Amino acid sequence: MIADLVISLVFIGYAISVLMGFGTILTWVERKQAAVMSDRIGANRAYIRIPGTQVKLVWLGLFHGMADGLKMLLKEDFKPRTYDWYAYAVAPWVVFTPVLLVFAVIPFGGSLTPARLWEPLSAFFGDKTWPMQIATLDAGILIVFAFSGLTIIGAMLAGWSSSNKFSLLGALRAGSQMISYELVLGLTVLGLILVYGTVNLDAMVRQQSGIVLGFLPAWGIVYQPFAATLFLAAAIAENKRIPFDLPEAESELIAGYFTEYSAMKMGLFMFAEFIEIAIIGALFTTLFLGGYNLPYMSDAGFAFPGGAAVAMPHGAVVVTQLGTFLLKVFLVCSFQILIRWTLPRFRYDQVLMFAWKFMFPLALANLCVTAVVVWAVRS
Amino acid sequence: MGLLTLIVVLPLVGFVLNGLLGNRLGKGFVSAVGCGMPAMAFAVTIKCFLDLKGAGWAPIAETAYVWTMVGQDSFEVAFWFDRLTAVMALIVTGVGTLIHVYSTGYMHEDKSYARYFAYLNLFLFFMLLLVLGKSLLVLFVGWEGVGLASYLLIGFWFGDMEKAAAGKKAFIVNRIGDAGFLLGMFVIYSAVGTLDMPHINKAFTSGAAPAVSASLVGLLLFIGATGKSAQIPLYVWLPDAMAGPTPVSALIHAATMVTAGVYLVARMSGIYLNAPEASTVIAAVGALTALMAATIALAQDDIKKVLAYSTVSQLGFMFVALGVGAYGVAVFHVYTHAFFKACLFLGAGSVIHAMSGEQDIKKMGGLAKKIPITFFTFALATAAIAGIPPLSGFFSKDEILWYALASGRGGSWLLLGVMAFTALLTAFYMFRLLWLTFFGKPRMIKEVEHHIHESPPSMTGVLVILAVLSAVGGFLSIPHFLEPLVALPAVRPGMDAFHYFVVGGSIAIALAGLVGAAYFFGGDAARAAKVRASFAGAYRVLNNKYYVDELYDRFINRPLLWISEAVFLKLGDRLLIDGTLNGLASVAQRTAGRLSRVQTGSLHKYAFMVLVGMVASLVWMWRNG
Amino acid sequence: MDKVQMLQVLAASLFALGLTGVIIRRNVLVMLMCMELMLNGVNLSLATFAHTMGSAVGAVLVFLIFVVAAAEIAIAIPIVLLLVRRKRTLDIESYSDLKG
Amino acid sequence: MSRKPHVRKQYWNEPEMGLWEKAYLPEILRGLWITGSVFLRNMGKWMTGRKGALTTYYPEETRWDYAQANRGKHVLTRRPDGTPQCVACNMCATVCPAKVIEIEAGFDPADAAHPKYPVRFEIDYSRCVFCGLCVEACPEDAIRMAKEVPNLPSGDRWNMWLAKEELLDWQPQSDVAKPYPPAPPRVPDGERG
Amino acid sequence: MTDFLANLDTLLLWAFAGCAFVSAALMLVLRQPMRVAIALVSCMVFLGGVYGLLGLHFIAAFQVLIYVGAVMVFMVYAIMLLDPRDESGGEKFSKLLWPGIIGLSLLAEALAVGYWSDLPGAPRGAAGEPFDMVRFSAAFLSEYWLHFELTSVLLLAAVVAALAVIKENRRHDHG
């Protein structure tokens, strides 16, 4: 019982630190990657001076994220004279919290047996094995959608309560855009659910550990390349990033629904966006890129198609899986940033048209084709 | 997915692709899909046929999926492939493919090209469902589906009110037959408890089902067949159905769909073998239809109308064969008829194409030299339908005549006489058509004459193939091929001697028709005009199709209208129902006037009433429950 | 009072609160939301029974109620929008046109 | 309330999208390929220790392609005895359009030829526009502009004030245009450092 | 400690239930419609928590997904569009405030009487085994498909009705 609690706390701590770390680092990565893509140098000036010396740790400007956070914390918190301070105050949290909660159902590693990590631990943990996932729910993917539905409310509350026309416009845009794309998101994932036959994310990842056609890893993207594309696009639209950043389009709406926010409240919106990049990365990894699985790797170690095998101790396996997951997530995040700095913004009517007249039918068609194929294969 | 399912699904895929994407992707795509899918279906059918042969002719059954379960009975979408199905499926896919190819030439200028091919593929899908279905239910779905496709295609040029009306007519007349079919299905289901056709046949032949229902079922199903296969009294839709594009007439209204009734009766032969009364009715209706349609065809001037009545007449032949228990022979005639009638229709289409849309044979003539390929194929097919040996029509018609006389299940001299006379008429009006169209002096307008040209190879090629098939098709003895499945009836004692008499007679009849037509319509057809003048009254009756449409109008439509107007509307509806209701309503109104004070218009009060009611009922429940 | 009983009581009180809300509030939108609350109460009751009995019936009903609620709101909100367009107010007392 | 139907204006160069463009994905992939390949190329350079950017680390690194005529820093010339040539006449300060020069004049009775001299001569580089008018205005050829870059970024704007001491680093040897004062006596090549 | 952990579920359940009740009660007294909406959202989310603790995870997910993600978003949208802050002058409660409250108390009493007389408690004896997504889906699609279909007809009707209402709207715009 207590062991469960400890493990849970460890996992929660890991998840929060991973998310926060991603949130902080991505703010820097975004700028740095944009710079490298456009032949610039990018953020490179923030440093930490070791107290008492003149040694400045620059580390390629890695501390910019921290500097940003600090800046936002210390800024003055301007509040508009609004008619609903409560909604105004609650909105950033409604946006921020669900984003964190989504990570609860994402498996970030295989299974963990503390006793096999280090012998003395067995005194406390026994021989029990835990899946590396905060909440092993049979409704996994549904939870993700449920929570992402919550953020819509937050955005709309924020825009409405700011008593600002731009904010209101941003909120209206956010509402309709996110609902439209959530539908597409759900439909694309349905195809995947058909393929895997489960909604449990951990089970999905486990099914992706094998090999198809002799050499390809049995990842979701192999089965559903089309759905993967649609999913990524819809997820980026959910996150309101370029090319779908109409709710906060700077050139039209200043900052959209959070125009009237300042200091850390505004920081929460930004932070939520960056964490959601990581969440999308994690989801995409889990659903389409085999999660924590490396090709040819199992709990025992590597087993290559040729017959060669490398045994690995439990600790190494755990670390490899954690590392694999983080690396994949990071790569997907980096890809999202690449998209953000490549594509121009849609027009607002185009965004909704795109959702309803292009992606929705495609997702539907994908679902139908998948259903037929799955039916044909299974029967 | 098994092969049988594949056969059915392929045209459906074509329908979906053409229907959804056809307009965007251009004619090349439409043609490729529209012709490719039936061709693939044909190939798969051949594969199935070979499998069937390899399996020693044991029927192949395949369940695509379970549609629904009601109690213990499951209704499956299941397919069944035996000899009969094989013949029908090969005809449907083979002739269907050819006609698709022909259509690419014929419909090339039409702006609804994709829609046309989508409908055609849809028709093929339903037809295959009909032919391959294992249970009556699947067959019925196909049955209704081909009706729908036929409706869509007859009314294909729905901008023209007359053509749209023809589509509606076909649809509605078919519904009457379908009502009989449905009733038959209900009776079967209640008697046998299943709709699987092999089961039903077994049940009836083994006598497990009550014998009294066999004739009833047979008649009810036959009503359905009269609708679809254009027999008296429901044949009136078929001539009007010529409003559709000509390839459609060839495919649906000559080669495949109209033979569905024949197929149904042949498929349910287990019932009819035990229903002599129903069989007699079938034979009688078939003979009457054949005779009547043939006489009408004598006096028609529209090239497609002549062919349409000829189709009705030939269907009558098939039903005579069914009525005398020679099911295999009926299917044989279906098979040969599919070739030569498709060829005739397509030839007619080619003629119409050449004549820039003109269909009146009085305005044709002398086309033989201008469109030689069409002429040769048309002439060959005409000879085939007239029954000139050794063309295919000769064999099947001869068999029908033979069994009309000799079958132990209702053959008689009277039947033979009627059928022989009809055959003579057939030969006569077909050669009349040939003569008026292709020989003699050109009677068309100058501009039209100037434009006459041979059709593109996609059309003539198909014509040639079909002509060859209708020439040699008769050498394949379908009745003996089907013998293990549906046995031929025993020959009446003492009739064997007449076999050669019948053969010789039928040859003589065919030649007589040829000679007669040549005599009357040769040159400028002056002799025919003389005959027509002396029989003007009869000619008018025939030309107006015995006034059947008018009779229907007078004796069915008007009384119905009168009854619904006078009895149901005025007496029943206005006086009885409305009167009662009005009385009640005025009472209610007065009461409501008082009660309406409760209606405050305030939602709150309504909700409060709900609350009070809920509390009251809860309290009552706790106290008394 | 064990947890099942507690949840049933909660369900009942949610329903009652919703009904009361419909009676005593004037704003159309608030009344609509109170109706949603009533539906939620029913849902909770059904879900509790489903949990207690271990049968899927309750859960199925809950699902159907979800769908019905979504349908209801999809019609109700446009109607409210239309009403407000006509009379420029959300006060339900202004809409007593059906007074008999 | 009648609404006019919205008619979108048609332009003469209305872009026409083919099927390929309408399919979105291929074109998007093409764009991603372009940016991605730039990213990877630059990243590869960074990884292998080369520089993967066109921009410079500004204060630490200056561009190599400044124009020959670039004059980015003021210098005060000196007399042979080392004192500034400036006579604190304030002409440069007067003509300066950005008003960046501040001179505080001093009086030196010991030097009869140049009794006025600058006690303080400061230039605020945070505002200087490098127009060169001060050089034009100077009657004494006391201020010149050198081929340098004003490499003065700093966290504190006061660091951008340069005082007389920093401006007096004129090296006559390097000034080919006006070797003034006269070149010192030639020293053999070997002894020059 | 172990004791506490064993009861953690129950404690959380009570806490969520209490919060849901408080949110629901707040709905009656808050003036601003948007705050009522927030209260309702929080009530629904807490109910979702309750479902989760009961082991009905997917119902919890759908509670949040459909109620909050769809119904309440729509509601918030409507509140945003209708801009109800202008009617701050209106009375908050209807004329039936006191009858309503009395009715509520009556209802509560009736329910309480009924509850304490014969309401079944926790499962006694044959406790139902918890059913998972798979079992639920199977039951849903095999036994209750008719209901499902009927509901989808209802949904279709709703869509049509909503469209009709909007059309009405348009017509008035033009006229």
User: Given this model, what pLDDT does residue B62 score?
Assistant: 85
Top residue of C63, C72, C82, C94 to mutate, by most chain E CBs within 10 Å, is C63
Of A36, A229, A341, the CB nearest to D43: A36
Residues of A with CB under 8 A from a CB of E: 1-2, 4-5, 83-84, 86-87, 90, 137-139, 142-143, 145-150, 152-153, 156-157, 159-161, 168, 171-172, 175, 179, 182, 198-200
pLDDT above 70 (res B168): yes
The Cα of D62 is separated from the nearest Cα of chain A by a number of Å equal to 14
pLDDT above 60 (res E128): no
The mean pLDDT value of chain B amounts to 85
Chain C touched by B617 (CB under 8 Å): no
pLDDT above 60 (res B450): yes
Residue type, A19: L
Q: Which tens digit of pLDDT belongs to each residue from A232-250?
A: 888 888 888 888 888 888 8
The residue that leads in pLDDT, E89 or B187, is B187
What is the DSSP annotation of D146-187? Answer: ES-------SSGGGGEE-HHHHT---GGG-SS---SPPPPP-
**Secondary structure of B409-473 as H, E, C letters:** CCCCHHHHHHHHHHHHHHHHHHHHHHHHHHCCCCCCCHHHHHHCCCCCHHHHHHHHHHHHHHHHH
DSSP β-bridge partners for residue B73: B70
pLDDT above 70 (res B405): yes
| B137-144 mean pLDDT | 90
Q: Which of 347-376 (A) contact B at CB < 8 A?
A: 376
User: Given this model, what pLDDT does residue E169 score?
Assistant: 59
Chain B residues inside the 8 Å CB shell of A376:
1
Identify the structural domains of chain C with CATH numbers, from first to last.
3-93 (1.10.287.3510)
Where residue B411 falls among pLDDT bands split at 50, 70, 90? confident
Residues 6+ apart with CB under 8 A from B53: none
User: Given this model, what pLDDT does residue B41 score?
Assistant: 92
pLDDT above 70 (res A268): yes
Are B283 and B410 contacting, i.e. CB atoms less than 8 angstroms apart?
A: yes
Nearest CA in chain E to D3: E174
Nearest CA in chain B to C94: B602
- Which range is least confidently modeled, A121-135, A139-153, B425-439, E43-57? A121-135
Where residue E124 falls among pLDDT bands split at 50, 70, 90? very low
User: Given this model, what pLDDT does residue B43 score?
Assistant: 92
pLDDT above 70 (res E86): no
pTM: 0.61
User: Given this model, what pLDDT does residue E1 score?
Assistant: 57
Are B80 and B134 contacting, i.e. CB atoms less than 8 angstroms apart?
A: yes
Q: Which tens digit of pLDDT belongs to each residue from B522-553?
A: 766 677 777 778 878 877 877 777 777 788 77
Chain E touched by D2 (CB under 8 Å): yes
Q: Which tens digit of pLDDT belongs to each residue from A28-62?
A: 888 888 888 888 888 888 888 888 888 888 777 78
Where residue B124 falls among pLDDT bands split at 50, 70, 90? very high
Q: Tokens for C93?
A: 């007392």
Of B600, B607, B611, the CB nearest to C99: B600
pLDDT 10s per residue in chain D (193 long)? 456 677 778 888 887 877 887 777 888 888 889 999 999 998 898 888 888 888 887 777 777 777 878 888 888 888 777 788 888 888 998 999 999 999 998 888 888 888 888 888 888 888 888 888 988 898 888 888 877 776 677 778 888 888 887 777 766 666 655 555 555 566 666 554 4
Top residue of E11, E40, E53 to mutate, by most chain C CBs within 10 Å, is E40
Q: What are the residue boundaries of the structural domains of chain B, listed by start? A: 275-535, 549-623
User: Given this model, what pLDDT does residue D64 score?
Assistant: 76
pLDDT above 90 (res B42): yes
How far apart (Å, rounded) are the C-alpha atoms in residues B187 and B204? 13
Question: Hey, which of A137-141, A211-215, A258-262 has the most confident mean pLDDT?
Answer: A258-262
> Going by beta carbons, is chain A in contact with chain D, meaning 3 or more pairs sit under 8 Å apart?
yes
Where residue B39 falls among pLDDT bands split at 50, 70, 90? very high
- Domain E1-115, second-level architecture: Up-down Bundle (1.20)
Q: Report the b/e string of A231-266 with b at 16+ CB within 10 A.
A: bbbbbbbbbbbbbbbbbbbeeebebbbbbbbbbbbb
> Going by beta carbons, is chain D in contact with chain C, meaning 3 or more pairs sit under 8 Å apart?
no
Residue D122 CA: distances (Å) to CA of B177, B307, D145, E46: 111, 113, 15, 70
Q: Which tens digit of pLDDT belongs to each residue from B591-620?
A: 877 777 777 777 777 888 888 888 888 778
The Cα of D3 is separated from the nearest Cα of chain E by a number of Å equal to 7
Instruction: Give pLDDT < 50 ranges for chain C.
Output: none
Residues 6+ apart with CB under 8 A from A174: A152, A155, A156, A159, A240, A247, A256, A257
DSSP β-bridge partners for residue A57: A48
Residue type, D99: K
Where residue E127 falls among pLDDT bands split at 50, 70, 90? very low
Residues of B with CB under 8 A from a CB of E: 604-605, 608, 611-612, 614-615, 618-619, 621-622
Nearest CA in chain C to E101: C20
Chain A touched by E28 (CB under 8 Å): no
Chain E residues inside the 8 Å CB shell of B605:
96
User: Given this model, what pLDDT does residue B240 score?
Assistant: 85
The Cα of A61 is separated from the nearest Cα of chain D by a number of Å equal to 13
Nearest to A138, CA basis, from C43, E137, E43 = E137
Question: B65, A379: Cβ pair inside 8 Å?
Answer: yes
Where residue B125 falls among pLDDT bands split at 50, 70, 90? very high
Where residue B46 falls among pLDDT bands split at 50, 70, 90? very high
Residues 6+ apart with CB under 8 A from D130: D71, D72, D145, D150
Chain A touched by E133 (CB under 8 Å): yes
Question: E63, C43: Cβ pair inside 8 Å?
Answer: yes
Chain A touched by B24 (CB under 8 Å): no
User: Given this model, what pLDDT does residue D193 score?
Assistant: 45
Residue B223 CA: distances (Å) to CA of B209, B233, B278, B282, D5: 21, 9, 11, 10, 57
User: Given this model, what pLDDT does residue E2 score?
Assistant: 63
Chain C touched by B598 (CB under 8 Å): yes
Q: Which of 192-231 (A) contact D at CB < 8 A?
A: 229
**Secondary structure of C31-77 as H, E, C letters:** HHHHHHHHHHHHHHHHHHHHHHHCCHHHHHHHHHHHHHHHHHHHHHH
Chain C residues inside the 8 Å CB shell of E123:
4, 52-54
Are B225 and B217 contacting, i.e. CB atoms less than 8 angstroms apart?
A: no
User: Given this model, what pLDDT does residue E126 score?
Assistant: 44
Top residue of D17, D42, D47 to mutate, by most chain A CBs within 10 Å, is D42
Q: Which tens digit of pLDDT belongs to each residue from B257-268?
A: 888 889 999 888
Chains in contact with C via at least 3 Cβ–Cβ pairs below 8 Å: B, E
User: pLDDT > 70: what percent of chain B?
Assistant: 98
**Secondary structure of B320-374 as H, E, C letters:** HHHHCCCHHHHHHHHHHHHHHHHHHHHHHHHHHHHCCCCCEHHHCCCCCCCCHHH
How far apart (Å, rounded) are the C-alpha atoms in residues D71 and D67? 9
Nearest CA in chain B to E100: B608
> Going by beta carbons, is chain A in contact with chain C, meaning 3 or more pairs sit under 8 Å apart?
no
User: Given this model, what pLDDT does residue E125 score?
Assistant: 41
Of C33, C44, C52, the CB nearest to E36: C33
Q: Which of 246-305 (B) contact C at CB < 8 A?
A: none
Of B595, B601, B607, the CB nearest to C22: B607
Furthest-apart CA atoms within chain E: distance in Å: 72
Q: Which tens digit of pLDDT belongs to each residue from A281-327?
A: 988 998 888 888 887 777 777 777 777 777 778 888 888 888 888 99
Chains in contact with A via at least 3 Cβ–Cβ pairs below 8 Å: B, D, E
The Cα of D9 is separated from the nearest Cα of chain E by a number of Å equal to 23
Where residue B123 falls among pLDDT bands split at 50, 70, 90? very high
